Amino acid sequence: MKKIFTLFVAMVLAVLSYAQPANGSLAPDFNLYEIDKTTGNMITDHTINLYDMLNDYKTVYIDVSATTCGPCYNFHQTGTLDGLYNNYGPNSTVNDSRVLFIEGASTGSSWAAINGSAGSSYWDCTHVYGSTTELVPYPVVPLRLSPNYVANDGSCNYYTFHTNYSIGAFPTIMMVCPNRMVYDLYPDVTSNATTYHNQIASRCPAWTNTNDALLSTQKLMASMYFCENDIVPTVLLQNMGTTALTSATLRVTYGSNVQTYEWTGNLAQFATEVVTLSPVTPTQDGSQSMTIEVINANGVADQGSSMNTFTANFGVQRTSDLATSSQTFSSASALGLWTLVDNTDGDFGIYNGALRLRAWDAPSGATGECYAPLMNFSNSPTPSLKFDYAHRRYSSASEKLQVMVSSDCGATWTTVWEKSGAALATVTSGSGEFNATSSQYQTAAVDLTSYAGQSRVIIKFVFTSGYGNNVFIDNVEISDSPVNVESVDESVLAIFPNPVSDVLTINYDKAISQIDVYDVNGKLVKTFTTVGSTVNVSDLSSGVYMLNMQTEDGLVVKKIVKE
């Protein structure tokens, strides 16, 4: 259900814009400290360690919120987390769940600010539903307060947590199963404790079998396209059994080709290992699928049926003679070599003759990708891309649409066009679900001449939900025609010092709404949604990064070296 807030205008507080961890991926461990809700002092004689709770077979519910966030307050007024802790927490007869409230905003730098007494108390998320005096019974963990803010190694733990858990908006509600798999939960005002607790049975695999191996979707296939002769699939193998996993038999089915792979090692319960399987040689181009199964664990039939079989869908285009291509998204059957990848659990696909990300329902950070066919620009001196897009913003939620290009068959990606938030909107904001009409589209043009002469070029659209409103594209055309593109006078935009150690200074006389930082592999590693004359990059590892700077005149891409 879409977020409907009964007391306040929906004011989603987006602090950092990362994609949330994919459902079924592994949750990173953390050591954090809670606050004494009576004194306001940090409790430093023990830490809250995620894996310690998971090792005790507890399911952990993590609420990352801000006490200055209206939607967070509305969610807390459901009493869901109070009921979850009281009915299923450490003081209950069930005792299979734990609840953590993590104050994730940069403004949470004192107990007075966190518990609401420093401002309007109705924003408060630390009191039990229906009470103005009783504090929540579960731990409150302020990321901005020492020793949480700075880790023992001197790194900024605040940013590390946001990066590891890809917090895109408040509230973000996650459930972590005992086997470390994390799932995003909708923070609806209709949620209740029983609904959340039932997720354990539907999402968390059993952990009582003796010999039980599991395959995770996190590492099933390394790439969408395979231009070379061999495909080398990888899979994340996890031990769900109560005894050490020392061997497993995997079966790989690719068309009529069936192979078995014998793995040996030593994995304790819940431990994982990325397994590289035997190469497979594709026999034809086009859409392909591969199925990987666990057959045996420790020399006997695997005892767990959950997550033992996964199928990967991907494209094979070893060569291409396509210099032009177009797509109107009239139907799924008309996609041809165009490929859609839905990471939203069903909220991305063709709708009314266009491609839609239904961010109205898709959780913040969920993505959908649309891959064009492999293009050959060997004889194209002026390749270009044109497409229509439409979006109506919901309150302050921030959707993102990107065009990314790879010339090495998906190994690395460069963002060549990007809009997000207000810059992406083609009509004024509204409160209802957006379904675009023809008059609400705008046309974008992207110059691809930097890829002229190259024979293996992949173009993809990447939609990222901010749990706001829907984004559409239509009438995509890849051609060898010069286009007029949005331009920025980069001579008046300067960044220094470069190389940089800590603070990067930006000289530009117009507004910059957002900066996305990508590593050399095209992975988004950091986003600045509040941009002034300086940005702090001290938490980045040493290396080369691309800054995608969204200005009021268009996208500017700058390379920096982090010392």
Residue 177 sits in a domain of what CATH number? 3.40.30.10
Co-location of 165 and 33 in the same domain: yes
202-232 pLDDT per residue, tens? 899 888 999 999 987 554 554 566 676 677 7
pLDDT of residue 521: 66
In a domain, residue 549? The reply is yes
Co-location of 218 and 96 in the same domain: no
Question: How far is Cα 532 from Cα 490, in angstroms, rounded to an integer?
Answer: 17
Of 316, 341, 364, the last residue of a domain is: 316
Instruction: Give the phi and the psi of residue 195 in degrees, each rounded to 5.
Output: -60, -45
**Nearest alpha-carbon partner for 182 in 54, 48, 52, 21:** 21
Of 432, 457, 479, the last residue of a domain is: 479
In a domain, residue 12? The reply is no
Of 479, 498, 514, the last residue of a domain is: 479
Tokens of 318: 């070893």
Question: How far is Cα 461 from Cα 424, in angstroms, rounded to an integer?
Answer: 14
Co-location of 245 and 385 in the same domain: no
Co-location of 180 and 229 in the same domain: no
273-331 pLDDT per residue, tens? 989 888 888 877 777 788 899 999 999 999 988 888 888 777 777 788 899 999 999 99
Read off the CATH number of the domain in which 512 is found: 2.60.40.3080
In a domain, residue 507? The reply is yes
In a domain, residue 357? The reply is yes
In a domain, residue 16? The reply is no
Tokens of 157: 């733990």
In a domain, residue 3? The reply is no
> At a CB cut-off of 8 Å and minimum separation 6, what does 229 contact?
281, 282, 318
Total-model pTM: 0.65
In a domain, residue 504? The reply is yes
Co-location of 473 and 494 in the same domain: no
Tokens of 327: 């797509």
Co-location of 127 and 32 in the same domain: yes
**Nearest alpha-carbon partner for 351 in 476, 475, 472:** 472
Co-location of 165 and 73 in the same domain: yes
The separation between CA 228 and the C-alpha centre of its own chain, rounded to angstroms, equals 28
Residue-range definition of the domain harbouring residue 465 = 325-479
Tokens of 350: 């063709």
Read off the CATH number of the domain in which 217 is found: 2.60.40.10
Question: How far is Cα 310 from Cα 559, in angstroms, rounded to an integer?
Answer: 39
Co-location of 41 and 168 in the same domain: yes
Co-location of 169 and 229 in the same domain: no
Residue 175 corresponds to which amino acid? M
Number of domains in the chain: 4
In a domain, residue 352? The reply is yes
Beta-sheet pairing, 384-391 with 234-239: unpaired
Read off the CATH number of the domain in which 439 is found: 2.60.120.200
**Nearest alpha-carbon partner for 113 in 129, 101, 125:** 125
**Nearest alpha-carbon partner for 405 in 444, 452, 364:** 452
Question: How far is Cα 59 from Cα 184, in angstroms, rounded to an integer?
Answer: 13
pLDDT of residue 200: 94
Co-location of 348 and 254 in the same domain: no
Co-location of 119 and 217 in the same domain: no
CB 468 within 8 A of CB 359: yes
Co-location of 59 and 161 in the same domain: yes
Position of tokens 């890809």?
Answer: 166
Low-confidence stretches of the chain (pLDDT < 50) are 1-19, 118-119, 121, 219, 222
Question: How far is Cα 69 from Cα 64, in angstroms, rounded to an integer?
Answer: 11
pLDDT of residue 16: 30
Rg for the chain, CA atoms, rounded: 24
